[in-house]
Amino acid sequence: MGKMATREAYGRALAEFGADNRIVVLDADLSKSTNTATFKKDYPERHLNMGIAEANMMSVGCGLATCGKIVFASTFAMFASGRALEQIRNSACYPKLNLKVCATHAGITVGEDGASHQCIEDLSFMRSLPNMTVVSPSDAASTRFAIKAAIETDGPFYVRLGRLAVPDIYGEYGSDVPFTLGKANQLKAGNDLTLIATGYLVGEAIAAAELLEQEGIHARVLDMHTIKPIDKDAIIAASKETGAIVTCEEHSVIGGLGSAVAEVLSENAPCIMTRVGIQDVFGQSGTPAKLMEAYHLKAVDICATAKNLLERKKNA
Amino acid sequence: MNETQEKNLRRFASQMRRWIIEGVYRAQSGHPGGSLSATDIIAYLYQEELSVDPKAPRNPNRDRFVLSKGHCAPALYAALGLRDFFDIQEMKNLRQFGSFLQGHPCMSTVPGVDMSTGSLGQGISAAVGMALAAKLDGKDYRVYCVMGDGELQEGEVWEAFMCAAHYHLDNLCVIIDHNGLQIDGVTTDVMNLGSVNDKMTAFGWHSIPTDGHDFASLEKGFAEAKQQKGMPSVLVAKTVKGKGVSFMENQASWHGSAPKEEQYNVAVVELDALISKSEEL
């Protein structure tokens, strides 16, 4: 299985779709890291460096958007969703402008840079904004479709991208992916419980489902690539058909995928659930592999969580 | 500037002031002080400077106007209403539930509003984006942005100023409504800006000291701004907060409060006199 970071796929997708001269790309002095430099190579006149000034970048993007541009604004997730939160809210979401915030280096797999750069709150921040669409693709091929959807769909977007090279879930970059905004992809059938994952943890969830299968447990796996609007139907069906849900995200368990799923369940079809994610703590420096273990985000952790949940289901 | 222009401007500005007070009084909320200090600037823009068409408010080739000090929406709405972007009588519903005239400028609901503003510092960045778009598209429309002096305390403003100079946005003209007051008092006491002119020059802008209540001074300033090539221009416009309503002038307390009935009556008498006087000129 091949590997590619979703940020690299983002850069390639921008270049691939970049002939559309409505597209303007803004970066805040991180174009090599965010990979918008890939777009710049082909379309230098439409790549504007805003310097280390993320707040201004977002509102400048909104001004461009009022003039018919489709604006991609990139920096690290921490500075995009954190520092520039209010610009995104008031300048982009309130007037529903075509600002596509494509934030890289999300989650703890940023690694050695440590907690200051490991954004584990962005889904929570962005999901609460009216008019915002929030997408968290799991691999290179689906990132390409997420960017395509962002270009084709009017309004503000937040696309969560990672630093780390991640395994191809849907095949290599360019492969066909069934990608509809707001519609989860079922990657494995099963009726004992459901693993609902997003972003990097989709791969871990698939591996966890394989471990469970070896023990005769049939887990359903959903790739929840769109966090908002969330796929209510898939969540309700998972509750009714499997009766137990584990959510898996490289994000705080507060406010992200786990919360979104819990909201749908509690109002529509309550069932037992557990949230795998960062447990309301900051990250730290270390290799991504070490951090994935330390914060219990690996397939083995998801597997153990799933088995505990199934015990609860049995005793319920 | 000929006599007719001057007369028209005075009448337009006086009517704007009258509608500002009407709207804020009826809503019993809003920001009269800064609206009145920016009135003559906005009147000049909508009467003399901006190439805009009330019948085609989204014409892609129009000049753009961003009110970065968005709390002065009553001044902008009054100018737009008097220019027939919508029925000026709607000012009576300013800030009221269900009105399209939201408390701060809302581009989704108000014809002629080019950018939603209200959170200080963001409008100037959006104006920079509009000016960049014109450059990218090879269009010759210009972008105007009115800011407050208190607003200059926002850090984003200086990011935007840096950016405009870096990209040589000579199609961008900022007007600073330098009335020297903000909610908590005198700007130099709250957070001293020092010399706005020196700061703008240091940031790579062509800075033009202007009298924000003198139409001839504004005319000269805007003409000079248009001549500048390769750099953005700023009119640092000296103004009086509350201008035109005697008891509101130079009072920080009128930043964000509405007149009571007796005060409203006094203001109306003064402003109606101003309107009559402008007819006579």
d(CA B167, CA A66): 19
Residue B132 one-letter amino acid: L
**Which of B173, B159, B182 is CA-nearest to residue B226?**
B173
The answer, for A81 touching chain B at a CB cutoff of 8 Å, is: no
| Within-domain flag for A158 | yes
Q: Are residues A136 and A277 in the same domain?
A: no
**CA–CA gap between residue B43 and residue B239 (Å, rounded):** 14
**Tokens representing residue B195 in the block:** 């010399």
- Whether residues A46 and A149 share a domain: the answer is yes
pTM of the model: 0.97
Tally the domains of chain A.
2
B116 vs chain A: nearest CA distance in angstroms? 6
Residue A1's pLDDT band (cuts 50, 70, 90): confident
Taking CA–CA distances from A26, the nearest residue in chain B reads B129
Point out the residue among B116, B130, B160 whose CB comes nearest to the CB of A56.
B160
Q: What is the CATH number of the domain that holds A288?
A: 3.40.50.920
For residue A129, list chain B residues with Cβ-Cβ distance below 8 A.
none
Per-residue pLDDT band for A316 (boundaries 50, 70, 90) equals: confident
Identity of residue A264: V
Best to test chain A binding among B122, B162, B171 (most A CBs inside 10 Å): B122
Q: Are residues A153 and A48 part of one domain?
A: yes
pLDDT of A296 higher than 70: yes
| Mean local confidence (pLDDT), A275-291 | 98
Residues A231 and A126 in one domain: no
Of B119, B127, B162, the CB nearest to A90: B119
Domain's final residue, options A117, A137, A167: A167
Asked if the structure places residue A112 within a domain, the reply is: yes
Catalytic (active site) residue A249: no
Under-70 pLDDT residues of chain B: 281
What was the pLDDT predicted at B279?
80
Is A215 domain-assigned? yes
Q: For the residues of B40-73, what is the DSSP string, one character each? A: HHHHHIIIII----TT-TT-TTS-EEEESSGGGH
User: Is A129 part of the contact surface with chain B (CB cutoff 8 Å)?
Assistant: no
How close A50 gets to chain B, by Cα (Å)?
A: 7
- A66 interfacial to chain B (CB closer than 8 Å): yes
In this structure, the answer to whether residues A116 and A191 fall within a common structural domain is no
Q: Is A41 exposed, middle or buried (0-12, 13-18, 19+ CB in 10 A)?
A: exposed
Of the candidates A167, A200, A222, which is a domain's last residue? A167
Range of the domain at A191: 185-315
Looking at residue B60, what is its pLDDT? 97
A157 lies in the same domain as A194 = no
For A47, the closest chain B residue by CA position comes to B136
Distance (Å) from the alpha carbon of A91 to chain B's nearest alpha carbon: 7
CA distance A209 to A190: 9
pLDDT digits (tens, 9 = 90+) for A200-237: 999 999 999 999 999 999 999 999 999 999 999 999 99
Give the CATH number of the domain where residue A17 resides: 3.40.50.970
In a domain, residue A206? The reply is yes
Q: Which domains are present in chain B?
A: 3-280 (3.40.50.970)
Q: Is residue A232 part of a domain?
A: yes
Question: A215 and A136 in one domain?
Answer: no
Does residue A175 lie within any of the structural domains? Answer: no
Strands (E), chain B: 64-67, 143-148, 172-178, 181-182, 185-186, 206-211, 233-238
Cross-strand bridge partners of residue A194: A220, A245
pLDDT one-digit tens code per residue, A72-128: 999 999 999 999 999 999 999 999 999 999 999 999 999 999 999 999 999 999 999
Among A167, A200, A231, give the residue marking a domain's end: A167
| Residue in the structure block whose two tokens are 């804020």 | B24
| Mean pLDDT of the A158-186 span | 97
pLDDT at res. B281: 62
Q: How many CB atoms sit inside 10 A of residue B54's CB?
A: 13
Please check whether residues A17 and A146 belong to one and the same domain.
yes
Pair A209, A284 in one domain: yes
Query: Chain A: nearest CA to B114, how far in angstroms?
Result: 8
Q: Are residues A151 and A103 in the same domain?
A: yes
Q: Check A58 against B137: CB less than 8 A apart.
A: no
| Inter-chain touch A67–B130, beta carbons under 8 Å | yes
Yes or no, beta carbons of A60 and B128 under 8 Å apart: yes
- Give the per-residue pLDDT at A194: 98
SS3 B35: helix
Q: What is the mean pLDDT of chain A?
A: 98
Q: Mean of the pLDDT values across residues A129-136? A: 98
A25/A156 same-domain check: yes
pLDDT digits (tens, 9 = 90+) for B191-219: 999 999 999 999 999 999 999 999 999 99
Q: Is A161 inside any structural domain?
A: yes
Residues above pLDDT 70, as percent of chain B: 100
Q: Is residue A298 a part of any domain in this protein?
A: yes
**Per-residue pLDDT tens for A42-75?**
999 999 999 999 999 999 999 999 999 999 999 9
Q: Are residues A214 and A82 in the same domain?
A: no
Q: What is the ipTM of this complex?
A: 0.96
